[in-house]
Amino acid sequence: MDMDFNVKKLVRDAGTAISRVVQLTEEKLGTSEKTELDAHFENLAERSDTTKLWTEKILRDTEAVLTPNPGNRVEDFLFEKIEKKRPNRLTNLEYLGLDMIEAGNEFGPGTAYGSALVKVGQCEQRLGQTEREFISSAGQCFIQPLRKFLDGEMKTILKERSLLESKRLDLDACKNRLRKARSMHSQQNAEKDLRVAQSEFDRQAEITKLLLEGISSSHASHLRCLHEFVEAQVRYYDQCHHIMQELQRDLSSLSLKTPGVTPFQATTSHTENHHETPKSGYQRARVLYDYDAKDATELSLMADEVITICEISVDETDYFMGERGSQKGKVPKAFLEIINP
């Protein structure tokens, strides 16, 4: 009995599907009438489609910015689907920081390079932690609301619009049967079916219209989320800037205790000074050996760099006054070779 019922239902559903295909084909060919919705409804529907399209794109782009590794994004998606907590990964900056600290300790934290590596590594770790906090904050204030909208409200709208299309097809099928009715009895039955179909269609159209009008509220909600996302970015970049300023100051203080110049001047000192024209009373000199400044009055030197020098006084026989860019200090004559003009 159940099997017989299932077969009948299967045949009936197949027949309905075939008639729907025929009906849609006739509508496209213009051989069958189609009930059109009013312009206001069509505008709402178009706005809904546009909202869905761009929300999906913005969501994907934001996720790609916050989690650049596509493998991690897939992993996060799977963990979310099985309702398990995401793995607490270190950021690339934190991995970089760990390796810098390890290398610095290996080279010796008492050396110039080693101590700088440790200092920069610690900074990279702080940047990484700040990045993780930003990713979490952005996820809560921006990504989650957009995804919730797509998975909730937008899916409901699509479902109701699909139901409305089904009601519209039923209505037009009833209209078609009424036009083709030959006997009084069949005409009365067709009119009755048409009234029911029209009522159901109108009711579904009203339900769908109310949902579509709710898109305006969704836009207002997403605007608030966007403001929160921007505020999160402002805090993030402000924290990063503060961390890097601290690092710059720390490296500058380290450079006073170690040979050479600050990291921000070392790359230019060798090339720029070769082409500078010494001021009156000044000469150019090439550094023969590295030299560590003994105090703040002296200038640290790196072998092979070129600096500008001048005599300090007739009584000072062991030192010149050396200049390198904005840096100035005493330098031992024994460490220099004067370059003839």
- pLDDT of amino acid 179: 87
- pLDDT of amino acid 224: 98
- CATH match for 266-339 among 2.60.40.1120, 3.20.20.80, 1.10.8.60, 2.30.30.40: 2.30.30.40
Contact predicate 267/302, CB 8 Å: no
Three-state DSSP class for residue 120? helix
In whole angstroms, give the CA distance from residue 316 to residue 91. Answer: 55
Cα separations (Å) of 288 from 112, 218, 305, 336?
A: 19, 71, 8, 6
CATH 1.20.1270.60 fits 24-253, yes or no: yes
- pLDDT of amino acid 263: 44
CATH 1.20.1270.60 maps onto the chain at: 24-253
CATH 2.30.30.40 maps onto the chain at: 266-339
Q: Largest Cα–Cα distance of the chain, in whole Å? A: 131
Q: Residue 7's pLDDT band (boundaries 50, 70, 90)?
A: low
Mean pLDDT of 323-330: 84
pLDDT in tens, 103-162: 998 888 778 898 899 999 999 999 999 999 999 999 999 999 999 999 999 999 999 999
pLDDT in tens, 228-284: 999 999 999 999 999 999 999 888 877 655 544 444 444 444 434 444 455 667 888
- pLDDT of amino acid 260: 47
